[in-house]
Amino acid sequence: MRSMNIRQNTTLPFMKMHGLGNDFVVVDSRTRAFDLTKSQITAIARRHQGVGFDQLAVITNGDADAHLTFYNADGSTSAACGNATRCIARHLMDETGLDALTLTTDRGTLYAREAGNGLTSVNMGHPQLNWHEVPLAREMDTLELPIDGAPTATGMGNPHCTFFVDDVSSIDLPTFGAAHEHHPLYPERTNVQVAKLIGPDHVRMRVWERGVGITLASGSSSCATAVAAARRGLTGRKVQIDLDGGTLWIEWAEEGVWMTGATEHVFTGHFTHEFLEAAK
């Protein structure tokens, strides 16, 4: 990442959005080119001294309707961010009047569509089920890993480790999530989910995101949990996922994993030149 190239006394506009409390800072770089340093990203992520976010997303022009790039709160990159993709898709559909979009990410090409009743759907692509795709450190069956609790590994453009437990509220998620994020079987770290089947095709889940910590929701984690539950025979391929921040509906279809839920554009603001310069 290169440093900002913004003239003195100018400001940088941004949007604050969230999907079920999974919150994002979104910067539109389609008409105004810029780059952020890692220290600027982490400064923006601070909730008391910056704006605060689970991920920062940058919109740029591409071969499709737009290209999306994602950064975690610690400044690391992520190839996929499902809820941010839905939020941005809703913004772009409202902007253009379109009810379907094609978006490119480091995960690949994703498709978004209007789902009615204020909901937005995004196809997060096919899950990655082979050990080297997740990726894991060595060859093994991804359905039940050799870790206490026998979690399932899934790739959704980012790695996931899903534990099925008796009670998600009883898990000390800060300790449990942090320990497993850095498990040696995951060379690129991992997102960690604890999930419980609470009814037919109905799952309660909490999530620890790599590079972020506990989040109220996670789209890619919800997709990974739905895929893991279906692979283990716990559910069918259409699943309701209840998270701390609300509900997502996941369908593992032939063309990929569709994720549907609500989004909100909370406000639009500007970063000052002074803040960005001090954060370099």
CATH code for the domain in which residue 21 is found: 3.10.310.10
Query: How confident is the model over 160-212, as pLDDT tens digits?
Result: 999 999 999 999 999 999 999 999 999 999 999 999 999 999 999 999 999 99
Full residue range of the structural domain in which residue 90 is found = 12-124+263-279
Q: Do residues 232 and 273 both lie within one domain? A: no
1: pLDDT strictly greater than 60: no
51: pLDDT strictly greater than 60: yes
Tell me whether residue 133 is in a domain.
no
Q: Do residues 234 and 270 both lie within one domain? A: no
Q: Do residues 77 and 174 both lie within one domain? A: no
40: pLDDT strictly greater than 50: yes
Q: Do residues 160 and 224 both lie within one domain? A: yes
Residue 172, judged by CB atoms within 10 A of its CB (0-12, 13-18, 19+), counts as: exposed
Q: Is 44 helix (H, G, I), strand (E, B) or coil?
A: helix
Tell me whether residue 139 is in a domain.
no
What single string gives the DSSP state of each residue in 133-188? Answer: TTT-SS---SSS-SSTT--EEEESSSEEEEEE-S-GGGS-HHHHHHHHHT-TT-TT
Tell me whether residue 20 is in a domain.
yes
Query: Which band of pLDDT confidence, cut at 50, 70 and 90, is reported for residue 32?
Result: confident
61: pLDDT strictly greater than 90: yes
Tell me whether residue 138 is in a domain.
no
Backbone angles phi, psi at 94, to 5 degrees: -65, -35
Look at the block and give the residue holding tokens 């737009």. 66
Q: Do residues 106 and 16 both lie within one domain? A: yes
Q: Do residues 207 and 173 both lie within one domain? A: yes
Closest residue by Cα to residue 151 from 138, 166, 165, 161 = 161
Into how many domains does the chain fold?
A: 2
Q: What are the structure tokens assigned to 48, written together?
A: 């008391």
Query: Which band of pLDDT confidence, cut at 50, 70 and 90, is reported for residue 4?
Result: very low
Q: Do residues 117 and 176 both lie within one domain? A: no
Q: Given the DSSP bridges, would you call strands 55-60 and 66-72 parallel, antiparallel or unpaired?
A: antiparallel
Tell me whether residue 140 is in a domain.
no
Query: Which band of pLDDT confidence, cut at 50, 70 and 90, is reported for residue 9?
Result: low
Q: Do residues 36 and 117 both lie within one domain? A: yes
Tell me whether residue 63 is in a domain.
yes
Q: Do residues 198 and 272 both lie within one domain? A: no
Residue 99 C-alpha from the chain's centroid: 22
Q: Do residues 86 and 156 both lie within one domain? A: no
83: pLDDT strictly greater than 70: yes
Mean pLDDT confidence for 105-118: 94
Q: Do residues 158 and 240 both lie within one domain? A: yes
Percent of the chain whose predicted confidence (pLDDT) is above 70 = 96
22: pLDDT strictly greater than 70: yes
Q: Do residues 36 and 110 both lie within one domain? A: yes
Tell me whether residue 147 is in a domain.
no
Query: Which band of pLDDT confidence, cut at 50, 70 and 90, is reported for residue 66?
Result: very high
Mean pLDDT confidence for 105-116: 94
